[in-house]
C-alpha cells in the first residue's frame, strides 16, 4: 500500500559516525575551559605520576626538611613547592596524592554508584514492598553521620584503602538509590514503558532497554558531582587519621601532617588544601555543565 503521502524531510546528518563525533566534539568545545583544563591536568598527573613527579613521594631526606617553595629566598629548584618535616617533596606527594584520591573516588563511584543505580531502578520500577524496604534502609543510611560511622568502622577494621572504600560505598549508594529511584518513577510512567508491557517484554529487558538508558544522564551527572564530594570526604577522613594510612601521600593526610607547622611552614598544608579546593570546585562546575548539556530542554541541537 502506498501510504497516504507524507514527504520524509529528514536530515540524515546526525546519523553518520563523523556527524556524531563532530557533535560530541563541538559540545566539548563549549565546555568550561578552565575547569576542563584543571581536570585534564589532574587526570594526567595521576596517570603519569611516576613520570611527572620529580621525586619519589615517600623518599625521606631529613637533612632537607622544611625546605620552602622555590620563590622563597632559601627555596631550591629541586623542591618546587618545598618539603615537609621529613624532607619529602610536597609537589611529588601532591601528584601521587591525586592518584590516591582519584582511584579511591572512582572505585567508590563504580561500586557505590553502580549498585545504587541498579537498586534505585529496581526500587522505582518494582515499587511496593521491595521499594518500601529499600527506602527505609536508604533513610537509615542517610540519617547516619558519615564521618562518625567511618571513624568507628575504620577503628574496628584498621586503616586501609579498602576500609575507606567499604565504609563510603554504602553512603554513596544510598544517595544514588534516592535520586535514581525518583528518576525511574517518572520514566516508568512514559507510554513506551506501558507499550513494552503490552507487548510482553520481560522485566529485565524493560529495565535494561527502556529505563536505564533514560536515567543514565542523571547517573553521569550525579557521578561527576559525587567525585568532588568523595574527595572531600576522603580528605576529611585522612585528616582525622582514619583515611588512607601513612606514608601514602593523600591530600587530607598532608594537610593534617602540616597542621602543627602552619605558622612556620605554611606550604605543607596550603598546597594540598588548594589542590582539594580546586579539584572539588572544578568537578562541581564540570558536573553543572554536564547536567545542562545532557538536559534535552537546554540542549540546542
Site for other proteins in 180-199 (CB under 8 A): 190-192, 194-199
Among all chains, which residue has been given the C-alpha cell 615537609? 84
Between 210 and 229, whose beta carbon lies closer to other proteins?
Answer: 210
d(CA 238, CA 261): 18
d(CA 219, CA 292): 14
Per CB under 8 A, the list member of 15, 51, 143, 148 interacting with other proteins is 15
> Considering the rule CB under 8 A, would residue 145 count as an interface residue with other proteins?
no
Whole-number minimum distance, CB 11 to other proteins, in Å? Answer: 7
Site for other proteins in 199-238 (CB under 8 A): 199-202, 205, 209-210, 213-214
Whole-number minimum distance, CB 132 to other proteins, in Å? Answer: 13
> Considering the rule CB under 8 A, would residue 14 count as an interface residue with other proteins?
yes
> Considering the rule CB under 8 A, would residue 143 count as an interface residue with other proteins?
no
| E strands in the chain | none
Between 25 and 198, whose beta carbon lies closer to other proteins?
Answer: 198
> Considering the rule CB under 8 A, would residue 18 count as an interface residue with other proteins?
no
Q: How many helices, marked H, and strands, marked E, lie in the chain?
A: 13, 0
> Considering the rule CB under 8 A, would residue 177 count as an interface residue with other proteins?
no
d(CA 98, CA 283): 13
Whole-number minimum distance, CB 188 to other proteins, in Å? Answer: 12
Between 6 and 156, whose beta carbon lies closer to other proteins?
Answer: 6
60-79 footprint of other proteins as x/- string (CB under 8 A): --------------------
Torsion of CA 97, 99, 101, 103, to 10 degrees: -160
* HSE value, Cβ hemisphere, 13 Å, CA-based, for 138: 24
Inter-CA distances, 117 with 188, 274, 293, Å: 15, 32, 21
Q: Is 83 helix (H, G, I), strand (E, B) or coil?
A: strand
Between 11 and 74, whose beta carbon lies closer to other proteins?
Answer: 11
Between 148 and 301, whose beta carbon lies closer to other proteins?
Answer: 301
Considering CB under 8 A, how many residues would be counted as binding other proteins? 30
Question: Nearest Cα to 211, choosing from 102, 124, 298?
Answer: 124
d(CA 143, CA 31): 36
Q: Is 145 helix (H, G, I), strand (E, B) or coil?
A: coil
- Read off the C-alpha cell for 253: 593526610
Task: Tell me which residues touch other proteins (CB under 8 A).
Answer: 1-6, 8, 10-12, 14-15, 190-192, 194-202, 205, 209-210, 213-214, 296
Amino acid at each position: 500500500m502506498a501510504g497516504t503521502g507524507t514527504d520524509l524531510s529528514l536530515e540524515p546528518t546526525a546519523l553518520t559516525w563523523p556527524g556524531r563525533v563532530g557533535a560530541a566534539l563541538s559540545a566539548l568545545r563549549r565546555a568550561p575551559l578552565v575547569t576542563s583544563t584543571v581536570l585534564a591536568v589532574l587526570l594526567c598527573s595521576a596517570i603519569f605520576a611516576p613520570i611527572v613527579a620529580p621525586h619519589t613521594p615517600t623518599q625521606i631526606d631529613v637533612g632537607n626538611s622544611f625546605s620552602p617553595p622555590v620563590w622563597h629566598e632559601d627555596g631550591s629548584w629541586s623542591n618546587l613547592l618545598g618539603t615537609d618535616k621529613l624532607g619529602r617533596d610536597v609537589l611529588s606527594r601532591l601528584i601521587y596524592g591525586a592518584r590516591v584520591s582519584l582511584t579511591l573516588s572512582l572505585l567508590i563511584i563504580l561500586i557505590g554508584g553502580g549498585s545504587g543505580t541498579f537498586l534505585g531502578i529496581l526500587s522505582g520500577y518494582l515499587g511496593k514492598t521491595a521499594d518500601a524496604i529499600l527506602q527505609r534502609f536508604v533513610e537509615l543510611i542517610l540519617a547516619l553521620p558519615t564521618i562518625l560511622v567511618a571513624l568507628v568502622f575504620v577503628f574496628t577494621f584498621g586503616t586501609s584503602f579498602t576500609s575507606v572504600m567499604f565504609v563510603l560505598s554504602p553512603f554513596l549508594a544510598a544517595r544514588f538509590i534516592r535520586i535514581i529511584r525518583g528518576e525511574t518513577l517518572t520514566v516508568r510512567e512514559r507510554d513506551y514503558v506501558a507499550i513494552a508491557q503490552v507487548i510482553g517484554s520481560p522485566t529485565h529487558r524493560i529495565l535494561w532497554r527502556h529505563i536505564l538508558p533514560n536515567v543514565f544522564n542523571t547517573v553521569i551527572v550525579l557521578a561527576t558531582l559525587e567525585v568532588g564530594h568523595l574527595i572531600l570526604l576522603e580528605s576529611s577522613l585522612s585528616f582525622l587519621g582514619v583515611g588512607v594510612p601513612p606514608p601514602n601521600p593523600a591530600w587530607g593526610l598532608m594537610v593534617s601532617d602540616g597542621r602543627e607547622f602552619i605558622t612556620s611552614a605554611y606550604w605543607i598544608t596550603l598546597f594540598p588544601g588548594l589542590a582539594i579546593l580546586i579539584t572539588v570546585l572544578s568537578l562541581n562546575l564540570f558536573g553543572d555543565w554536564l547536567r545542562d548539556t545532557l538536559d534535552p530542554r537546554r540542549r540546542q541541537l
